[in-house]
Structure formats: structure tokens, C-alpha cells
Amino acid sequence: MWNKWQNQLTRFFYVLMITVILTVLMFFEAFVWLDEWAYDGFEYLISNQKGLQQVLLIEAPPETREQGNQTWLTLLERLHQKQAKQIVFTFFPKNVSSDFYCQAKKYGNVFFARLLQPDDKTYPNHPLPTSWTPWLKSYSPSSWTPWLEPLPKIPARCEINFGLVDIPPHTHGIHRRQYSAFLIEEQAYPTLEVLAAEHFLGTPLMLREATYPVYFGSELERLPKIKLDNMLSGDLMNSELIEQRSIIVGFARPHNVPGLHTPLSLFHDVMISMPEYHALALNTLLNDQHITTLSSSLEWLLLLILITLSAFIYHILNTQQASRFTLAISGFYILLAWLLYRYTSIWLPIIEMILAQWLLYWFDFKNKLFKSDTRLRQRLVDSSFKLADRINAKFLAREEYWSQIMMMLHEVLNLNRLLILEWSPGYHYPKEIKALHCSLADIEEQQRDYNRKPYTIAIQKKGALLLTQPLFKSIDVAEQHYLVPLIFGDEVLGFWALAIETRNWHNKNKFEAALKDLALQLGESLYHRQQWRLRNQTNKKQLRRYFQVEGGDLIYQSLNKSITTLEHRLTGLENIIAELETPTIIYDIFGLTLSVNQGMNTLSQTFKLTAHQSTILEFLMTLCQTDLETARHYFRHILLEQNAIVQQVTLTAAIKRVFVLNLQLFYYQEETDGSLLNVKKGILCQLVDITQMKLQNTLKEQVAERLIFQFRNDMQSIMTASKLLSSEQSSHQEKRMVAGILQGKINAHLKILNEVETQLNVELDASIQVENYPIDAKEPILDAIEKVNTIATEQQIKIHHELPALVSLVFAAPNELSLVIASVLTLLIDDGAPNTDITLELEERDNGMTYTFKNSGSGMPNERLQQYLFSDDVDISDKFNSLRRAIKLITDWKGTLTASSQIDQGLSFELRLRSFI
Amino acid sequence: MNPAKKILMVDDDDDLRKLLGLYLNMAGYEIFHAIHGEDGKEQLKTLTPDLIILDMMMPVLDGMGFLRWLRIDAQQKNIPVLSLTGLSHSKTKYEVLALGASDVFF
């Protein structure tokens, strides 16, 4: 409600202010020039629209003025004969007799121009009082005044009708207006044109101003003109030219005499003579083309109405609409002004109207900008506070924190002496926060004004400065001294002065890089420490905190630091996600990919996944080998039911890996109406590699299974033995034998239990490979055959294997055993003849498992084969190198590998591994 | 008096063979021993038992291999076989029964 009233008041204030500004400017005629410029433009637009139908100009050479009655009386009589409506002399002819003026008096429609005398001191060109009313009056020759041209000496009965003339007023040399009257010694005198026009029209003219604008719309060529000679010689083409017209008699402008500059000069490049100007001015009055201008009060009212209306319209428009409206309404004003001027000769204050409109637009724009800026500023300040609140600055302000920091810096960097100084706004000198192994003199020295070297150099460098002059008092050991500015948000918050013994100063670059990283964190800690203290001082009240940062550069500094803090944290988070080994994708809540970390990129390349391009649905379909509907179900489960999806997935390419897929929503906490709400922000997708864990789990399962198998087997013996012992049919000797067997079983079981316990208790670290453990004896064979199958097919060799369905576990490393078998098979394939078989047999005997490999191939001398496999003195190929590595592994497993060969017969290998229970 | 029924026990566990043999002997059966599948195959060249008690997990030739041979290649295809195994997988049981064992004892 208050905002609404505030808006109304603001608008009212703007309207009032604009009106006042314009009124003041109008009072000082600030718009005259612009108005005349507009007037010129309008004149140009409506040129050639109306002709000069009621005025005729008779141009006489200047020298004819002296020709007396012969010329001028003749002209007068002739014009009278031709029924001229009136005759207007723009001069007093010379050498005429009183008959001329008496005749003029007799006709009653003859008027003469009487010049104002140019006198700098008494020039009587005063504006007329507003109460002045037009009149029509004759003047007697006796009404002479020193400022007027003297009247010819004529009899009193032949008094002359005269109107005053003067050079028309001008602005910057352009004549646009004509005087309507002059006030001389409290006596008002009409001008020649006004006198003639009132006579012509027979009514007084309602001219309210001392001057009126002349209508220049007619081109000068359309002003009817007759040469005096032609008139006198009677060569009148048509008496209609004279009849009922106002005949202006004036002197033609010699070519070498400049005329008057008018709007016609601007648009048609012509200058006009004074008689022509009189003719145009008279024509303006006769055609009622004198332009009506609004009174000041009307103008003020008009502007007030327009501004008020516009202010309300601006209120409902946005900034873009407001600018369009302003342009449109300005155009409308111009059109309206032109139409009024063209058809009604009313002159609107067009410049003032347009200026008022644009002023209002500008104020409205500034007002909206200000409001927007205020809201933005408030939002930023609030955000700054929220950010500041989320950081545990209290801890950073504690003494213990800085003590810990000092100890850490001392121990990690092996520093000899160190001192941390803080510079707070308002302080002229840095103050000590903590010092270690520094003397009081050192501390006091560093607490001086820091606007000196080497502080200024360190600030300029914005990094660790190795000093050539010692900063601390010299001691017996050789030291290197550094000064590090602590900067946060482009502001120096303190210094870190330190000394390291030269013998501990090993790697300058690494040491300075460490100083840089630590200084960055120290700077941030200093900032939070200062913020905490500042907030405590302001009683933690929101309003005071607001004013604390509101205004001036403080808000910029506060925001800059908050944003820097945020950036640090965001960068930290981004780096954590990016560097996280767990492959991770972050989706938005629409299931579109936002971020993919490096781990997922690597995984995508290995298993041909399209993490970047896929939506969550597509990714789930690929990953879980499922259809779209199931993927949708998963997505709904996460998004709508807000449950996590945890599922084991297996990815297979060149290698096979097992992962746990974890999909869950993550939230952003937003404060609404004082309570924290969890807003869904996206979905976190992680693939945790459990391949090793899964393998180890499988291995332990196998061990446990083997134990159960053995127990079940032996349970049969024990049950049978117990029946025999309790049977009366059994002889004593048989019972002794049974008891012996039973004892043997118990002993064997104890041994097995120990063995199994040992294996189950082996700590299998998920991050390292299993080196020697009871494993399935057959699976590595199948893996190895798959590995070499391609090259066997290329060599046209088949691998034939006969494997028992049920076999014991063997001691080996699962992945390595597969590689060992693959190495043996590769050698056999390499040696084998095309279209022959490699046979692979697995046999369990003597507490061991025997793998037998044979081929039909070229073979080699057995002695050489033995050398290749077991002698270090022989250079061998990569394939035999692999076998040698295999033999080493087999030895580690406490197994054996034997080989034999015969030329043209082939190779055979026997791998023997220990079996488990 | 009817002659005693013959049972061939194929098992690599000497103790179990002895104990079970003694027990069955007392019950009136004539017991023959084989230490693995291959040994069993040899025995069957000269012996036609009324029942074969077969261990599944044995060296040289395991119970599965022996049973497969017995039901496909041997002349005495119809001798009933009781399988003894410590393997608790139901999969193993089905495999053994599918190969023609009369029953499986765990």
C-alpha cells in the first residue's frame, strides 16, 4: 500500500517538477530559437499552398522618389481610378505638392510609412502593454515626436494616415516576425501593416503581442508585382490586378544591396526587400494568417495536462514500451501542431510539448532504473549476508585458530621466525595477530606504516617477495626473509613476514609456490576474521548490517569479497567433483546432463558410453541393459518418490568391470517465510567400481563353499561311523577301526578349519590385486581361451579342452592365472601347425591340480626349450619373456611349470598348482 | 538263500568307503570299491553291480564324467546310481539327476 502511494507521489512530483522547469525556461525564452526553427520547418512544409490574392506590389526605382507630382500624383489617381482597395506608400514621396497628400486624404484609403528614427539612446521599441487594444486612428502632422521621421509639411486639412515602420525583428539574422505596434512616450502607434489591414478588413485586429509571425508560405514569385513605369505608361495588362487590392508602393532592391534574410532564404535561397516584407506581413494580416499563439497560462495548462496523462500511461508501461510510446506521442505532437498551424494558424508550443514528454520519459526511466537498482542492490546485500552467515567465521576469529596456523606453518615450511600482521579498514598501521620466535622489537618494527618499502613492492607484486635486506633483527644463522601480502578480493588485508634458515631453503620455486597457496588461504581467513569482528560490533542487527554495507564503495567491496568466497568454494566443489575418482554425472531435474567428471569421461571412453550426449533415460538404458519403460520407472522413482536407486551393473568391453550404480536426488536449501525448504536441484549419478571387491567376495564365497562341501562329505563318514559304533553287530576290532577313522576325520577337520580360517581372515584390500588365494581352477582357463581365440582362429588352430565338472580350488591370483595360461597357449599357437588341435586337460591328483597343454607343431630341441624357459644366459623373444614372468608367478604360488618338446612333434606344458582342502 | 546284492562304491575318500562298506556289509550287501571314476570304469568290465554309490568330486574322472560314460557308453546302462555329494547347489543335483542318477544324497 505504501509503495503504491509512494509511486503516486513520485509521479506527482515529477509532473510538478517538469512543469516548473519548462515554465521557468519559457519565461526566459529558452525555446525561442527552437520554436523558430520549428516554425521554419512548418513554413517549408506548407509552402506554395496559398497565393497572395489581395496584395499588389508596385516596385519603383529608388531615384523616382524625387519625381514629385508628375509621378506620384499620377500614380495615386491612376490607382484610384482602377479601384484599388487601398494604397500603401512605404515612403514619403519627395517634391510632391500638398495636392498629393490632400488627394490622398480625399481618397481616404492612402497610407504612408513613417520611419522610426534610429537613436541608440531613445529608441522607443518598447513592448506594448497587454491591455493595449488595437485601434484605427489618424494622426495630424503636429503629432511629431523626436523619434519619428518628420512628416511632410502640408496643410492641416490634408492630414496623413501613417503607420510606423522599422527594420523587422530578427533572431540570429533571420527575420520571421513583424511589429504590430510601437509604444512611444506612453502613446501606442500601429505599424503600417496593421493600419492598412484594419482599414482593409474594416475591423480591429485582435493582436495580443508586440510582434506577430509573418506567413512566408507563399513563394516570393507568387507575390504580384508591377513596375512603376508600366503602371504609369498605362501598360496595365489587366485592371483586375488593381481592383479591390491593397497596393503597396515601394522601392525595388538594387542588385548590389542585400535584402532581408527570412525563412525563404533558408529554403529557397532568396533575400527580400523591405517592401516585399511589408507585402508579406500585410498579406498575413489580410488573410487572417496571423498565427495565434497560446497564452502562457494556456501553454502551462496544456503542458500540465499532457504530462499528467503521460505520467499515468508511463506507469502501466515497461521501459521498452515507454520508449516506443514516447517516440509515437512525439510524432503525434508534431503532426497535430502542423495540422493546427496549417489549417487554423494556431501555433502549439511543440518544442515545449516534446521536451516535456522526453523529460517525463527520462524521469520515468530513471525512476524505474532506480527502483530496479534498489531491488538489485538489496538482493545482492541479502545474498552477501547469507553467504557470510554460512561461513563459520567465528572459528576463524579465535586465537586458537591462529595459534594452530602458526604452528602448522612453522612445522610444514620449517620456518625460523614468522609474523602475521593484520590491516583493518580505519587503521593506519598493521597489527600483530600472531608471532613466533620474533622479538618485541621485530614486532613493533613491522607494526609501522606499511606505505613504505618493502611493503609497497610486495603489494605491487601481489606475491611472496624475497627480501635483500633482512626484515627481522639479524641472528647468528643465515636466513632468507620473505614478505607476503595477504590479499583477498583485491584488497590487502595484512602481511606475512617470515624467515627461513638458508640451509632449509632447498627449492626456491617450490617454496614460493607453497607461500602463494598458503597466503591465499590466510587472506581469506583474515577476511572472515574481520567480518566476524565487524558484525559483532554492529550487534548483528540486520538493519545495521544493511547500512553498514549499503552505499558507496562498501557494497562493492562487500560483494566482491563474498563473491570471491563463493568462487573459492564453488571452484573447490567443482574440483572435488572433477577430481573425484568415482565416475560421476550430474543431471538436472529434467534428466539432462549438467556436468560429467573426469572419471566418467574415462569410463565412457573405455565402455563406449555417451555420458555427455545422453539423457538420464538413455544412459540408464545403456547401463542397465534395460528398456525405455524400465528406465522411466527408475527416473520416476528417483524424482517423484524421492528414493535412491542402487543397483549392480556390469560393463564389458576389452575388460569386464562391476559397478554399483547410485542415483539420487540432491537438494538446495532455500529459505522461504523463515523456514528452510529442500528444493530439488538435480540428480547425482555415480558408478562405484566394485570389481575387486566383487572378486574378493566371490573368492571368499568359494572358500566357504568348499568348506561346507568338505564338511558335508565328512559328515557322511561321521554319521556312518557313529552308527557303526553304536551297532551291536560291530565287532570290537571293527569298532576300534571305526574309532580310528573318526579320530582321523576330526584331526583332518581341525586342520581344514585352521586353513579355512586363515584364508577367510586374509584382509583383502579392495584397492590392491589378490596375489595368492584359493580360486576356481577352471574359470582362468576359459578366460585365457577367450583371450587367445582370435589368434588361434587366424592360425587355423583349435583349442580342445576337457574339464571336469567339479574341481577343487587352486592357489593362485585370478587375473594372473588367466594371463599365465594365455601365455602358454600363445606359445603353443605360435608353434602349432595349421588345422591341428591344442589339447588342454585338467586333472586333480595328489592334493594338486594339473593343467596339461599339448600341441602338434614344429617343436624345438628340448634342451633349447629348457634354456629359453629357465636360463638367464639366453636372449629370448617376448613370448618366452612372458612365460618367464609366468614361471615367477607360479613359483610365488608354490606351483610348478614343466615343459618338454620334440622337433616336429610339438610342445607340451604341465602346470601344477596346489589345491585347497 | 538268495545271493548277496552287489554294490559298487566309487569314492576317493578311503575312510568313507571303509565305513559305508562295513555298514552295508553288515546289512548283507557285497561291497566293491573304486577310488575314482576311471577305477570304476575298470571294475565294471568284470562286475555287474546291483547298485552304484557314486561320489561326485573325485580326481582323474569325477562322478559327472563317470555317470555320463555309464549312461551313454557302458553296457550296464541301467544300473541304478545313488549319488553322494557334499555340494549343496541345487544346480548340481539337477545336473546329476539329468545325467541319470536315481537319487542324490547330500
How many CB atoms sit inside 10 A of residue A645's CB?
17
Cα A62 to Cα A90: distance, rounded to the nearest angstrom: 12
**Domain count of the fold of chain A:** 6
- CATH number of domain containing A506: 3.30.450.40
A264 and A300 in a common domain: no
* Percent of chain A with pLDDT strictly greater than 90: 10
Confidence of residue A661 (pLDDT cuts 50, 70, 90): very high
Residue A543 above 70 pLDDT? Answer: no
Whether residue A452 is contained in a domain is answered as yes
d(CA A465, CA A484): 6
Distance from CA of B59 to the nearest CA of A (A): 5
Nearest residue to A56 (alpha-carbon basis) of A283, A233, A264, A218: A283
Spell out the alpha helix ranges (H) of A390-428. 393-396, 399-413
pLDDT at A158: 84
Among partner residues A710, A721, A804, which is closest to B19 by beta-carbon distance? A721
Confirm if A114 and A122 have CB atoms less than 8 A apart.
no
Cα dihedral: A372, A373, A378, A382 (round 10): 100
Given a cut of 70, the residues of chain B with pLDDT beneath it are 1-2, 86-92, 105-106
Contact B62 A717 (CB under 8 A): no
Range of A912's domain? 773-916
pLDDT digits (tens, 9 = 90+) for A223-273: 788 888 888 887 655 677 788 889 999 998 888 888 888 887 776 777 888
Q: How far separated are the first and last CA of chain B, in Å rounded?
A: 34
What's the rounded mean pLDDT across residues A641-670?
A: 86
How much is the average pLDDT of A557-585? Answer: 74
A204 shares a domain with A135: yes
One domain for residues A109 and A209? yes
CB A227 within 8 A of CB A59: yes
In contact, A311 and A359? CB cutoff 8 Å: no
SS3 A519: helix
Please tell me whether residues A267 and A196 are part of one structural domain. yes
How confident is the model at residue A547, as a pLDDT?
52
Residue of B nearest to A748 (CA): B15
Cβ contact (<8 Å) for B106 and A712?
A: yes
> Which chain A residues are closer than 8 Å to B65 by Cβ?
804-805
Name beta bridge partners: A165: A115
Of B61, B88, B95, the CB nearest to A712: B88
What is the pLDDT, as a whole number, of residue B10?
93
Q: Average of pLDDT values for A389-414?
A: 78
Residue A418 and residue A489 share a domain: yes
Facing residue for A710 by CB, picked from B20, B64, B86: B86
The DSSP bridge pattern shows strands A593-596 and A584-587 to be antiparallel
Q: Is residue A154 part of a domain?
A: yes
**Which chain A positions have a beta carbon within 8 Å of B95's beta carbon?**
805
Same domain? For A595 and A458 the reply is no
- The Cβ of residue A720 has, within 10 Å, a number of other Cβ atoms equal to 22
Distance from CA of A635 to the nearest CA of B (A): 36
In a domain, residue A74? The reply is yes
Give me the pLDDT at residue A263, please: 80
- Residue A693 is placed in which grid cell? 571387491
Give me the mean pLDDT over the A382-395 stretch. 67
Question: Could B65 and A723 be called an inter-chain contact, meaning their C-beta atoms sit closer than 8 Å?
Answer: no
Chain A residue with the nearest C-alpha to that of B11:
A713
pLDDT at A3: 65
pLDDT, residue A320, reads: 85
**Do A416 and A358 lie in a common domain?**
no
Looking at A760, A783, A802, which one is the last position of a domain? A760
Task: Examine the domain organization and report whether A474 and A517 are in the same domain.
Answer: yes
Assess whether A126 and A260 both reside in one domain.
yes
Question: Within a domain: residue A574?
Answer: no
In this model, does residue A289 exceed pLDDT 90?
no
Report the alpha-carbon distance of residue A144 to residue A146 in Å, rounded.
Answer: 7
- Distance CA(A891)–CA(A909), nearest Å, equals 15
Answer with the one of A629, A654, A687 that is the final residue of a domain. A687
- Give the domain-ending residue among A482, A506, A537: A537
Q: Name A88's bridge partners.
A: A111, A248
Q: Is the dihedral of CA A232, A234, A235, A240 positive or negative?
A: positive
Closest partner CB to B15 (pick from A709, A717, A808): A717
Residue A26 and residue A59 share a domain: no
Q: Render pLDDT for A796-805 as a digit per residue (tens, 0 to 9).
A: 999 988 787 7
> What are the pLDDT digits (tens) for A827-866?
999 999 998 999 998 888 778 899 999 999 888 988 888 8
Is A491 a domain residue?
yes
Beta-carbon separation of A805 and B88 below 8 A = no
Task: Say yes or no: A176 and A261 in one domain.
Answer: yes
Q: Does position A47 have pLDDT exceeding 90, yes or no?
A: no
Q: Is residue A547 part of a domain?
A: no
Q: Using an 8 Å CB-CB cutoff, list chain B residues near A915.
A: none
Reading the block at residue A858, the C-alpha cell is 614344429
Which residues contact residue A903 at a Cβ distance below 8 angstroms, ignoring those fewer than 6 apart?
A858, A859, A860, A861
Contact flag B59-A843 (C-beta cutoff 8 Å): yes
Q: Which cell goes with A577?
A: 567433483
Question: Do B86 and A729 lie within an 8 Å CB cutoff?
Answer: no
Is residue A572 in a domain? no
Helix (H, G, I), strand (E, B) or coil at B59: coil
A376 in a structural domain:
no
Pure H helices in A32-166: 32-45, 68-81, 98-107
Reply yes or no on whether the pLDDT at A560 is more than 90: no
Would you list which residues of chain B are within 8 Å, Cβ to Cβ, of chain A? 13, 15-16, 18-20, 22-23, 26, 55-57, 59-65, 84-88, 92, 95, 105-106
pLDDT digits (tens, 9 = 90+) for A108-121: 899 999 888 755 44
Identify the pLDDT of residue A544.
53
By CB atoms closer than 10 A (0-12, 13-18, 19+), residue B75 is: exposed
Could you tell me which chain B residue has the CA closest to the CA of A714? B16
Same domain membership, residue A725 and residue A788: no
Cβ neighbours for A642, distance < 8 A, ≥ 6 positions apart: A665
pLDDT of residue B104: 72
A464 has a pLDDT exceeding 60: yes
- How many angstroms away from the CA of B55 is the closest CA of chain A? 9
Query: Chain B: nearest CA to A715, how far in angstroms?
Result: 9
Contacts of A744 in chain B (CB under 8 A): 15
Q: Is B50 helix (H, G, I), strand (E, B) or coil?
A: coil
Residue whose C-alpha cell reads 557285497 in the numeric block: B30
For chain B, the helix, strand and coil percentages under 3-state DSSP, each to the nearest 5: 40, 20, 40
Write down the ipTM of this complex: 0.84
> Which residue of B lies nearest to A808 if distances are taken between CA atoms?
B57
- A650-653 long-range Cβ contacts below 8 angstroms, 24+ apart: A651/A603, A651/A606, A651/A607, A651/A609, A651/A623, A652/A607, A653/A606, A653/A607, A653/A608
CB A288 within 8 A of CB A207: no
Highest mean pLDDT out of A255-264, A387-396, A566-575: A255-264
Task: Evaluate if residue A550 carries a pLDDT over 70.
Answer: no
- CATH of residue A672's domain is 3.30.450.20
Cβ distance B57 to A808 less than 8 Å, yes or no, reads yes
CB contact under 8 A, B60 and A845: yes
- Sort out which chain B residues have CB atoms less than 8 A from A740's CB and list them: none
Nearest of A520, A476, A522, A521 to residue A499 by alpha carbon: A476
Rounded to whole angstroms, how far apart are CA atoms A147 and A600? 104
Question: At A216, phi and psi to the nearest 5?
Answer: -105, 10
Average pLDDT of the residues in A890-895: 89
CB contact under 8 A, A730 and B26: yes
Residue A622 reports pLDDT greater than 70: yes
List the one residue out of B96, B91, B106 whose CA is nearest residue A711: B106
